[in-house]
Amino acid sequence: MPDAEVRRRVAAGEAYAAIGRDVGLTGETIRQRALRAGLASPRRHGRVPGAAVLRVAVLADAPLTATATAWGCAPASILRACRRLGLPTDRAGRAALRLGARS
């Protein structure tokens, strides 16, 4: 498959695995081609922040995905770490925690 076709399909939002199945390649191979073409970002290999930072992030009004981006890790990693610490990750739980912290 020419790189131009990979660029077109990735830019259209198709999944790497779906493109790979159509052409007999793995999704990872398609992702590598997309990386070379500048259409994908490298995988994140950051570290999940510690408990104190996560508590501040949960109390903040910003989305937890912003914390994940700032620390260079996946949003799912932040959510798992918050759950392990017993911190709420849903909007209502975070809002209730903020209200309790103000009292």
Contact (CB, 8 A) for 67 and 77: no
pLDDT value, residue 12: 82
pLDDT value, residue 103: 54
Output the six-digit token pair for 74: 């996946």
Average model confidence (pLDDT) across the chain:
85
Q: Which residues of the chain have pLDDT under 70?
A: 1, 42-45, 101-103
**How much of the chain exceeds pLDDT 70, in percent?**
91
Alpha-carbon gap, residue 98 to 89, rounded angstroms: 12
Summarize pLDDT for 45-59 with one digit per residue, the tens: 678 889 999 999 899
